[in-house]
Chains A and B, each alone.
Chain A
Amino acid sequence: MFSIPKNAVYKRVSRRKFLELGGGAASALGVGSMTLGLGSTITRSPVQAASSEDAKWKQYAGSKLVFMSENTPPSFAIRDNIKAFTDLTGIEVTILTDDLPVVQQKVGIDLRGGKADYVLNYVQDKPIGAPFGEFYTDMTPLFGDSTLPQDPDGYGDDAWFENFLSACGRFYTEGKIVALPYDCAVACTFYRQDLFEANSKDFEAEYGYRLEFNKDSTWQNVIDMAAFFKKAKEAGKDVPYGYAQHQGSFAWTTQLDIQRFLFANGRWMDWNIDDVYGSKDPGKTNWGDDSSIAMLTKFKELADVCHPDNLANGTLELNTVYQAGNIAMQTQYHEFAASIEDEKTSRAAGGKTAYAPCPKGDAKWIKNGGEAVNGTNCGIGGIGINGNASEDLKRAAYIFAIWSVSRDNQFNVLKGLGGTPTRKSVLEIEEVKKAQQRPTTMPNALTFDAVYNYGIKNPNFVLGPKIPNANEYHSILAAEVQKCLSNEQSPEEAAKSIQGQLDELNGAG
């Protein structure tokens, strides 16, 4: 059937030779892909302070960098637009994205293993920055390096929103800056004003005040609203549940839920430590005191009238519940407004949703003498440079870092996929100012007033706690609070259990 030439290749290559070639090729492929495919490489053309700006941007042309990031809008948008950076610098950047817990594990192994497979990292403040802060490069010497390109807007605290630079860049000390604010997720309230209006009369008849939400609405109001909707739903009325939270598989989201609630009521915090820089030695925790037990009791009261899937939903899932029209209100991170306002995927789109600051504490509940505030917390994601990398790799990575957080880039991301700016100057752009009112082409901008003008301002904003054992602290807190919400233990037992475990964790027992 087939004609085989006498000098066919397979006849000229002996079996032994074939195996040798095959083995060699496989080894080369393996080693090659490991060294070139993943790792960063560097090529350098020396420049001086007097060199042109173009030469400074292009001094590492031909280099390759790897950036490990969370799957957030800026990373997708920058990946889509990476050609602009390569054209500007000649540097190729591979942007790998994954869920935050996976990013945390990958960069953790890389950093603690003394490697620099990921020369650029997404430094989410508490889960990544707090445990690994010391493994990142101090950027402050690079800010003043005249042989590197610099951002005309600068990198000082004033260039960013209040406390953002400290949130993701400073860990346990003021002098060292290990990351620049890349994106942010700040909590605020999303609520269905169409449902609120439709049910206002019934609510008022039962609770004696109007069903509306504003910056003075308290957590007690939220409990009332959630109870009202739940009761109506269970009575067969065509309404969704009133409220839901994110206490699913990722412990950090549960910690943030409970933190907002406790901070709102007397600015209660887990430890008496500096909230901006954190502490390597936090000492004894405040868990177990009267305030924590009372607040946990109220928190359980709220959970009992929430959507039943609180303990299975993380941030994304909770947002899906809201998008599906299954709840009337959620405290959610402002980056999700873009998906809520997408009419193709959301029943809450089309002007049905309004945005407000996080609920305020209730003065009657407060036991520690503190004030009632709109407790607002966040995840500020920075971009940092792996401290294990070579000096030239660090410099090349710095060029990408400052480009990625530049005003123009943040504006483009906001216009494109729905970013969350960290530079103040982005909000000064006329187009962004207009976008904060409906109709808008930048849905995230609808949250900006609640977030940037209110939530992140003192006394509402809580940044920490930054401690080296942040991830174990999140895990302990989430597990004990979830057990309390599942009726496995009382609020007092939960608070005491958290106290015991945290004090042991930090050697303060």
Chain B
Amino acid sequence: MTNASITLAVPSQKGRPALELFRVRHIPDSVESRPSSAVVAEPTSINPPGSKRYYFLLMAPAILVLAFISIYPFFWMIYMSLHDVDIGKVEWNNFANYLKLPSDTRFIMGWALLVQYSAMCLFLQIVIGVFLAVALNGSRFEKVLVTTLLMPMMMAPLVAGMVWYFLYNGTFGWYHWLLQSLGILGPKSILASANTAMIGIVLVDVWQWTPLITLITLAGLKRVPQDQLEANMVDGASPVRNFMSVTLPNLYPVLLIAIMLRFMDNFRFTDSILVLTGGGPGNATKILPVYLFEVSFKFFKLGRGAAIAFILLIVTIILGMLLVRVFERGQPKKG
């Protein structure tokens, strides 16, 4: 039995604060003896036992800050989404902001493009990121290469967008010239065609954020039990088989974090797309967050923008929870 399970296995006692469950209060006799440093001794509490008021006072500053910067705007967003909002004028509009959305083709198309964009980005980032992590793991130049790889992440997305905008430029862009020389592109630059513009913006995201996946995966790889890998190899497993049956299952938790981070980031992403295409040509790259930005800060339809933002938020939360469930099921069972 692991340490964590000892902690959680403590039966809850009626009337005790939930937080107390996470303290080690009792070590069952069945637990085998360990070095004394491995067993967490009960801390000497300075708090009166069960003082909810004390805990609340401790958390109060954080709650206040959170309320100010997050909870208040959240409820204000919901309020706005139910009204026509303008300076000095907030009028109830009978859910019109929500009711109009199903017939708004740009809203519907925005969703479709967002799913397409996120799926393409996630797939490429996970595949390339994991591949790079495996290739780098234990390499002699691991530290230097990881540092080099991290550089795109350090760039502001808006700046990254501008850099790629110039690289893609049909008149003087180096990547445009390269892609054309290789016969991959025709005379049109990648952002000038509705067929290729989406690929153009996906590549920028992949370039900038794949290193994050690599970094997280690399951290996960360090925790893969060597004994299991060695045992598997002794049993005659190939490196690929070893990766699939030992490494990958052990990477599930870190991959979950990586996918969650990137998925949620993509669902609110606008920066480089605004610079690269502004959502065009046509509406070919107008993913929902870009449309949301446009509605709110170009058309100044703040009520409609709030309604779109609220729906986007709810969907993000639901999808996030589903994602966690899927990965929880996929994790190898312990014990």
Residue of A nearest to B295 (CB): A472
Quick one: which of A250, A324, A483 contacts B283, CB cutoff 8 A? A483
Given contacts A475-B294, A475-B298, A486-B194, contact A309 B170 (CB under 8 A): yes
B130 to chain A, nearest CB (A): 33
Check A416 for interface membership: any CB of B closer than 8 A: no
Among listed B241-249, B250-258, B274-282, B313-321, interface-contacting one: B274-282
- Chain B residue numbers with a CB within 8 Å of A475 are 294, 298-299
Among listed A33-41, A101-109, A212-220, A257-265, interface-contacting one: A101-109
Given contacts A109-B297, A312-B189, A312-B191, contact A135 B280 (CB under 8 A): no
A262 to chain B, nearest CB (A): 19
Given contacts A112-B86, A114-B87, contact A324 B282 (CB under 8 A): no
Q: Complex: how many Å from CA A418 to CA B86?
A: 39
Check B143 for interface membership: any CB of A closer than 8 A: no
Cross-chain contact A308 with B188 (CB below 8 angstroms) = yes
Query: What are 27 A-to-B residue pairs whose CB atoms are below 8 Å?
Result: A101-B298, A108-B300, A112-B86, A249-B274, A249-B279, A250-B278, A308-B170, A308-B189, A308-B192, A309-B171, A309-B188, A309-B192, A310-B192, A312-B170, A312-B188, A312-B281, A313-B192, A475-B294, A475-B298, A478-B280, A479-B283, A482-B281, A482-B282, A483-B281, A485-B281, A486-B193, A486-B195
Cross-chain contact B189 with A309 (CB below 8 angstroms) = yes
Describe A's contact surface by its main secondary structure: helix
Given contacts A105-B298, A311-B281, A312-B170, contact A135 B87 (CB under 8 A): yes
Check A506 for interface membership: any CB of B closer than 8 A: no
A471 to chain B, nearest CB (A): 5
Give the top 5 A-B pairs by smallest Cβ distance, nearest first: A249-B278, A483-B282, A312-B192, A311-B281, A309-B170
- Chain B residue numbers with a CB within 8 Å of A313 are 170, 192
Q: Complex: how many Å from CA A488 to CA B282?
A: 9
B155-205 contacts to A, CB under 8 A, are: 168-172, 186-189, 191-195
Describe B's contact surface by its main secondary structure: loop
Check B88 for interface membership: any CB of A closer than 8 A: yes
Check A251 for interface membership: any CB of B closer than 8 A: yes
A311-344 contacts to B, CB under 8 A, are: 311-313, 317, 320-321, 324, 326
Cross-chain contact A248 with B299 (CB below 8 angstroms) = no
Cross-chain contact A308 with B278 (CB below 8 angstroms) = no
- Chain B residue numbers with a CB within 8 Å of A320 are 169, 171-172
Given contacts A112-B86, A114-B88, A250-B278, contact A471 B298 (CB under 8 A): yes
Quick one: which of B88, B169, B276, B299 contacts A317, CB cutoff 8 A? B169
Contact with A along B81-96 (1 / 0, CB 8 A): 0000011100000000
Quick one: which of A311, A324, A472, A478 contacts B172, CB cutoff 8 A? A324
Cross-chain contact B280 with A311 (CB below 8 angstroms) = yes
Contact with B along A470-494 (1 / 0, CB 8 A): 0110010011101101101000000
Check A131 for interface membership: any CB of B closer than 8 A: yes
Cross-chain contact A249 with B170 (CB below 8 angstroms) = no
Cross-chain contact A251 with B282 (CB below 8 angstroms) = no
Cross-chain contact A104 with B282 (CB below 8 angstroms) = no
- Chain A residue numbers with a CB within 8 Å of B301 are 472
